[in-house]
Structure 1
Amino acid sequence: MLSLAATATPTAATHGHHLPGLGVLLLLGLLWAVGYLALCWIWPFVNCRRCTGTGKRRAVIGRGFRHCPRCDGTGYQLRPGRHVLNHLRSIHRASK
Protein backbone atom coordinates (compact mmCIF):
# COMPACT_ATOMS: atom_id res chain seq x y z
CA MET A 1 0.00 0.00 0.00
CA LEU A 2 1.33 3.43 -0.92
CA SER A 3 1.52 6.14 1.69
CA LEU A 4 1.45 9.68 0.33
CA ALA A 5 1.61 11.39 3.72
CA ALA A 6 5.36 10.97 4.09
CA THR A 7 6.34 12.24 0.66
CA ALA A 8 8.26 15.46 0.35
CA THR A 9 6.86 18.30 -1.72
CA PRO A 10 9.13 20.71 -3.55
CA THR A 11 8.62 24.11 -1.93
CA ALA A 12 11.47 26.08 -3.51
CA ALA A 13 9.94 26.01 -6.99
CA THR A 14 6.49 27.13 -5.88
CA HIS A 15 7.56 30.41 -4.22
CA GLY A 16 9.48 31.81 -7.18
CA HIS A 17 6.43 32.78 -9.21
CA HIS A 18 5.36 35.54 -6.77
CA LEU A 19 8.34 37.82 -7.35
CA PRO A 20 7.69 38.69 -11.03
CA GLY A 21 4.12 39.64 -10.10
CA LEU A 22 5.43 42.00 -7.44
CA GLY A 23 7.83 43.56 -9.94
CA VAL A 24 5.02 44.12 -12.41
CA LEU A 25 2.90 45.68 -9.68
CA LEU A 26 5.72 48.04 -8.68
CA LEU A 27 6.32 48.97 -12.32
CA LEU A 28 2.62 49.72 -12.84
CA GLY A 29 2.57 51.83 -9.67
CA LEU A 30 5.60 53.79 -10.86
CA LEU A 31 4.04 54.36 -14.28
CA TRP A 32 0.80 55.53 -12.64
CA ALA A 33 2.70 57.99 -10.42
CA VAL A 34 4.68 59.42 -13.35
CA GLY A 35 1.49 59.73 -15.38
CA TYR A 36 -0.33 61.50 -12.55
CA LEU A 37 2.53 63.95 -12.03
CA ALA A 38 2.58 64.66 -15.78
CA LEU A 39 -1.17 65.29 -15.62
CA CYS A 40 -0.63 67.68 -12.70
CA TRP A 41 2.10 69.47 -14.65
CA ILE A 42 -0.03 69.96 -17.79
CA TRP A 43 -3.45 70.54 -16.17
CA PRO A 44 -2.81 71.88 -12.65
CA PHE A 45 -6.43 72.84 -11.92
CA VAL A 46 -9.52 70.72 -11.43
CA ASN A 47 -13.15 71.78 -10.96
CA CYS A 48 -14.07 72.54 -7.37
CA ARG A 49 -15.89 69.58 -5.83
CA ARG A 50 -18.12 71.69 -3.61
CA CYS A 51 -19.57 73.97 -6.30
CA THR A 52 -18.88 71.65 -9.28
CA GLY A 53 -16.95 74.38 -11.07
CA THR A 54 -19.61 77.11 -11.02
CA GLY A 55 -18.02 79.22 -8.28
CA LYS A 56 -21.41 79.75 -6.62
CA ARG A 57 -23.16 78.15 -3.67
CA ARG A 58 -26.77 78.45 -2.61
CA ALA A 59 -27.37 80.75 0.32
CA VAL A 60 -28.48 79.15 3.56
CA ILE A 61 -31.65 81.24 3.72
CA GLY A 62 -33.54 82.42 0.68
CA ARG A 63 -32.97 81.94 -3.01
CA GLY A 64 -29.68 83.82 -3.36
CA PHE A 65 -26.20 82.70 -4.23
CA ARG A 66 -22.82 83.48 -2.73
CA HIS A 67 -19.24 82.75 -3.71
CA CYS A 68 -18.00 79.28 -2.95
CA PRO A 69 -15.74 79.46 0.13
CA ARG A 70 -13.54 76.58 -0.98
CA CYS A 71 -12.48 78.03 -4.35
CA ASP A 72 -13.22 81.74 -3.63
CA GLY A 73 -15.66 81.90 -6.53
CA THR A 74 -13.22 80.79 -9.26
CA GLY A 75 -14.61 77.30 -9.69
CA TYR A 76 -11.12 75.76 -9.75
CA GLN A 77 -8.78 74.17 -7.25
CA LEU A 78 -5.20 72.93 -7.49
CA ARG A 79 -4.79 69.19 -7.78
CA PRO A 80 -3.12 67.51 -4.77
CA GLY A 81 -0.23 66.38 -6.97
CA ARG A 82 0.35 69.97 -8.08
CA HIS A 83 0.70 70.98 -4.43
CA VAL A 84 3.47 68.37 -4.18
CA LEU A 85 5.18 69.67 -7.35
CA ASN A 86 5.01 73.26 -6.08
CA HIS A 87 6.52 72.22 -2.75
CA LEU A 88 9.37 70.33 -4.47
CA ARG A 89 10.01 73.36 -6.70
CA SER A 90 10.24 75.67 -3.66
CA ILE A 91 12.71 73.28 -1.98
CA HIS A 92 14.80 73.19 -5.13
CA ARG A 93 14.86 76.97 -5.46
CA ALA A 94 15.76 77.41 -1.79
CA SER A 95 18.77 75.12 -2.15
CA LYS A 96 20.37 77.26 -4.88
Structure 2
Amino acid sequence: MAAPTIPIPPSTMQRARDRLERALDRLEAAAARVPVLTAERKALAEERDRLARALAQMEAEKAALRQATDAAAHRLDSVIVRTRGALDRTH
Protein backbone atom coordinates (compact mmCIF):
# COMPACT_ATOMS: atom_id res chain seq x y z
CA MET A 1 0.00 0.00 0.00
CA ALA A 2 1.43 3.33 -1.06
CA ALA A 3 1.64 6.24 1.31
CA PRO A 4 -1.15 8.71 0.87
CA THR A 5 -0.16 11.89 -0.95
CA ILE A 6 -1.22 15.31 0.13
CA PRO A 7 -2.34 17.41 -2.79
CA ILE A 8 -0.25 20.58 -3.21
CA PRO A 9 -2.00 23.51 -4.82
CA PRO A 10 -0.44 24.72 -8.11
CA SER A 11 0.07 28.23 -6.67
CA THR A 12 2.16 26.77 -3.83
CA MET A 13 4.23 24.79 -6.32
CA GLN A 14 4.78 27.92 -8.42
CA ARG A 15 5.90 29.96 -5.39
CA ALA A 16 8.32 27.18 -4.44
CA ARG A 17 9.71 27.11 -8.01
CA ASP A 18 10.07 30.90 -8.00
CA ARG A 19 11.91 30.85 -4.67
CA LEU A 20 14.19 28.08 -5.92
CA GLU A 21 14.95 30.02 -9.12
CA ARG A 22 15.75 33.18 -7.13
CA ALA A 23 18.02 31.17 -4.84
CA LEU A 24 19.81 29.69 -7.86
CA ASP A 25 20.18 33.16 -9.38
CA ARG A 26 21.75 34.43 -6.15
CA LEU A 27 24.07 31.42 -6.05
CA GLU A 28 25.15 31.98 -9.66
CA ALA A 29 25.74 35.68 -8.98
CA ALA A 30 27.84 34.83 -5.93
CA ALA A 31 29.85 32.28 -7.93
CA ALA A 32 30.46 34.89 -10.63
CA ARG A 33 31.89 37.28 -8.02
CA VAL A 34 34.47 34.79 -6.72
CA PRO A 35 37.13 35.54 -9.38
CA VAL A 36 36.56 39.28 -8.95
CA LEU A 37 36.88 39.02 -5.17
CA THR A 38 39.99 36.86 -5.57
CA ALA A 39 41.55 39.47 -7.86
CA GLU A 40 40.61 42.25 -5.43
CA ARG A 41 42.10 40.29 -2.54
CA LYS A 42 45.32 39.81 -4.50
CA ALA A 43 45.45 43.51 -5.40
CA LEU A 44 44.88 44.47 -1.76
CA ALA A 45 47.63 42.10 -0.62
CA GLU A 46 50.02 43.60 -3.17
CA GLU A 47 49.10 47.12 -2.03
CA ARG A 48 49.59 46.10 1.62
CA ASP A 49 53.02 44.68 0.77
CA ARG A 50 53.97 47.83 -1.17
CA LEU A 51 52.91 50.01 1.75
CA ALA A 52 54.83 47.82 4.19
CA ARG A 53 57.98 48.22 2.07
CA ALA A 54 57.44 51.98 1.85
CA LEU A 55 56.96 52.17 5.62
CA ALA A 56 60.13 50.16 6.24
CA GLN A 57 62.05 52.50 3.93
CA MET A 58 60.61 55.55 5.71
CA GLU A 59 61.62 54.08 9.08
CA ALA A 60 65.14 53.49 7.78
CA GLU A 61 65.31 57.06 6.45
CA LYS A 62 64.01 58.37 9.78
CA ALA A 63 66.73 56.45 11.63
CA ALA A 64 69.37 57.80 9.23
CA LEU A 65 68.09 61.35 9.72
CA ARG A 66 68.12 60.91 13.48
CA GLN A 67 71.70 59.65 13.32
CA ALA A 68 72.74 62.55 11.06
CA THR A 69 70.99 65.03 13.37
CA ASP A 70 72.75 63.58 16.41
CA ALA A 71 76.12 63.78 14.62
CA ALA A 72 75.45 67.39 13.56
CA ALA A 73 74.43 68.31 17.12
CA HIS A 74 77.64 66.75 18.43
CA ARG A 75 79.73 68.73 15.91
CA LEU A 76 77.86 71.91 16.80
CA ASP A 77 78.52 71.30 20.50
CA SER A 78 82.23 70.88 19.68
CA VAL A 79 82.26 74.16 17.74
CA ILE A 80 80.53 75.96 20.61
CA VAL A 81 83.05 74.60 23.13
CA ARG A 82 86.00 75.61 20.93
CA THR A 83 84.52 79.05 20.30
CA ARG A 84 83.95 79.64 24.03
CA GLY A 85 87.49 78.50 24.75
CA ALA A 86 88.85 80.89 22.13
CA LEU A 87 86.73 83.74 23.49
CA ASP A 88 87.86 83.02 27.05
CA ARG A 89 91.50 83.17 25.97
CA THR A 90 91.04 86.53 24.25
CA HIS A 91 89.44 88.22 27.26
TM-score, normalised to structure 1, is 0.37
Q: Under a length normalisation based on structure 2, what TM-score does the superposition of the two structures give?
A: 0.38
